[in-house]
Structure 1
Amino acid sequence: MKYRTDFIETKYKWLGEIPSNWELKKVKHILFEVTQKTEIGNEELLSLSQYTGVEKKKDKLKDKNDNLTNAQSLIGYKKVYQNQLVSNIMLAWNGSIAVSEYNGIISPAYCTYSFRENYNPKYFEHLFKTEIYKSEFKRKSTGIIESRLRLYSDKFYNIPCFVPDIEEQNKIVDFIELKKKQIKVLKNYNSLIFGKTNPKTGFLKEYLQTLIFNAVFGKIDLSDFGNEMDLEEENLALVAEEITKYGEIDNEQIN
């Protein structure tokens, strides 16, 4: 994996450096809020989780006796369309913000946003879920105590974002998805490496979060990236080696 060296400082201390050919744009130039509501209430009911993103509510039911919802009517719920961003304004600071893969409806307490042209929604989902952005969401949220914090659109709109061109956004998203697949394959077929994983430390989760951070913050050089052969055995071996080295560094820091 190659790393970039062409960085320039931003005026935002919390963001630090940015690749020299990327832009900084405020959220309001990337997306806009939409408030379309259902008049019939029979669309697919969706839910939002900080861990699993936007899901079909029916897929989360434990058994046939579970209720889809306790609401008497879903009329007035917000419509959600594929590739829109959904934010739980009370928990955006904790990662409850995600792009929907589905059309449906969701609680009117949430905010829904559409992206403008030449932006890959998944790139910004990954960006917004980094610890740096979650911390900024918390700083920009309004409220006296943590349980009352709310990230309203006017505050959200003024947060700056790293913005590579659309081609690199697409590469970053493809790179992250590929790495997730590689990790899944390794987890299934190489228990020797993953036997070192400690559930209490969340080693694999930490490794993937670090990789995603480096990708969306432009640390990784993806100029030669192509995913046609990256799931071949020799490439999986390189990923396994990379994960092992990461674990050794992590253990040294702990000890």
Structure 2
Amino acid sequence: MTGNSSTYLGELFRSSRKKGEEGLPLLSVTLNDGLIVRDLLDRRTETNLEANEHLLVKSGDIAYNMMRVWQGALGRASVDGLVSPAYVVLRSNSKIDSLYAEYLFKTPRMIYLFWAYSYGLTKDRLRLYFNDFARIPVTIPNLEEQKKIAQLLSTWDKAITTTAQLLANSKQQKKSLMQQLLTGKKRLLDKNGVRFEGRWRKLPFSDLVSLVKTKFDPKSNADDVRECIELEHIAQESSSLIGSTNTIDVVSTKTAFEKNDVLFGKLRPYLRKYWKADRQGVCSTEIWVFRTKAKVAADYIFQVVQLDSFIEVANKSSGTHMPRADWNVVKDFLIPTPPLEEQQKIAALLSAADQEITTLQQNLDALKQEKKALMQQLLTGKRRVMVN
């Protein structure tokens, strides 16, 4: 293991402007997933360009978007393909491993340098041309150590990809389970091990819950200090809190909620912000507070408000760009409703699925954080790897 050497990116890469060839897939650079086949994008942009009007990118090449590379818009090709002529295609020489380079280019230091060497009067006009890219200084280890570092980081990426797929599968399984259990298509076993029977009733949502409108007045409750939950404190889709504040306005318009109430974000319902309260507190007027009525399980209602059909009704209630759910519409939404014991059984099973999803999400977040820390050490030379 020897010391790192200083050089310039132009000594490690050349710009390839070779024209594209028929029959190759179109590739696009993304901020989060690197260079991927365009057909896999959720929002595909069509092109009228012929194949030979695109640039050819070979497996192992790195392509970057001149206008957004300072935001991290670059990626390494895993297959031969075609990219936009507005991209820069980098072909590495024998001094650098392109997989190592892809990791290096994602570090904060390199992202900063991409910005510093870009030209433009405003951010939306910044461009990093190859001639300026080539002037960027860089310090790298020898080729063998580069490959070892890339191999280590690739192992973390595989673990991240595997965990992310498990998480996606768990979410899809829970969604399918909701459609079966919350509609009565699939019946569970009661405490005696006998399958539940009897027809479910379809009841208006307002027959199951009350919309809490009680305002919390801090002046007359000076000794009752409660957490305040704003819409941004509820994590999207994960059914959890990511913050709160103890500050309450002197003249409060906050809604008071109690333990086991169900909170639902009525502003832009499509964001899917919901939380079953595990304590008392107050919340923003942009959040509905549902309190279950007799013989209705709060855990069951918490699962009901996550249904696609409920979200769809809430989202269409009022407004377009910034829709706010309308209680006069939502209250009449018909909910398939079994007896209390079956509600509790259903909710318990779906809650277990939620816990599995939460655990996988925590594992995924931890892996990403650990990889980030490892990159910071390995790609800056603070930590070296042994090479045989």
TM-score (norm 2): 0.46
The answer (yes or no) to whether the contact 1:41–1:76 under 8 Å persists in 2 is no
1:124 and 2:287 matched: no
State the distance in 1 between where 2:45 and 2:131 align: 32
The alignment of Structure 1 onto Structure 2 pairs a total of residues equal to: 200
- Percentage identity across aligned positions? 23
2:52 counterpart SS class: coil
1:77-103 CA distance string (max 9 Å, x none): 111111111010101101111211110
The aligned counterpart of 2:14 is 32
Q: What is the identity, as a one-letter code, of the residue corresponding to 1:58?
A: D
Match 1:73 to one of 29, 44, 50 = 50
Match 2:36 to one of 36, 52, 55 = 55
State the distance in 2 between where 1:72 and 1:185 align: 36
**Shift of residue 118 of structure 1?**
3.6
1:75 counterpart SS class: helix
State the distance in 2 between where 1:198 and 1:86 align: 31
**Shift of residue 192 of structure 1?**
11
1:172-207 CA distance string (max 9 Å, x none): 011111233445667869x799578499xx665343
The aligned counterpart of 2:60 is 83
Match 1:212 to one of 365, 370, 375 = 375
The aligned counterpart of 1:5 is none
Relative to structure 1, is the Cα distance of residues 194 and 85 closer, same or farther in structure 2, using a 3 angstrom cutoff?
same
The answer (yes or no) to whether the contact 2:156–2:367 under 8 Å persists in 1 is no
Unaligned runs of 5+ in 2: 168-355
State the distance in 2 between where 1:186 and 1:76 align: 39
The aligned counterpart of 1:23 is 5
The aligned counterpart of 2:124 is 147
Q: What is the identity, as a one-letter code, of the residue corresponding to 2:3?
A: N
1:137 and 2:114 matched: yes
State the distance in 1 between where 2:162 and 2:50 align: 43
Match 2:90 to one of 106, 113, 132 = 113
1:24 counterpart SS class: strand
The answer (yes or no) to whether the contact 1:32–1:114 under 8 Å persists in 2 is yes
The aligned counterpart of 1:10 is none
TM-score (norm 1): 0.68
Relative to structure 1, is the Cα distance of residues 224 and 112 closer, same or farther in structure 2, using a 3 angstrom cutoff?
closer
Which has more radius of gyration? 2
The answer (yes or no) to whether the contact 2:12–2:95 under 8 Å persists in 1 is no
2:89 counterpart SS class: strand
State the distance in 2 between where 1:54 and 1:133 align: 18
The answer (yes or no) to whether the contact 1:61–1:68 under 8 Å persists in 2 is no
Q: What is the identity, as a one-letter code, of the residue corresponding to 2:106?
A: K
The aligned counterpart of 1:239 is none
Match 1:43 to one of 19, 24, 46 = 24
The answer (yes or no) to whether the contact 1:58–1:68 under 8 Å persists in 2 is no
State the distance in 1 between where 2:160 and 2:73 align: 24
Which has the higher relative contact order, 1 or 2, with Cα contacts under 8 A spaced 6 or more apart? 1
Unaligned runs of 5+ in 1: 1-18, 226-255
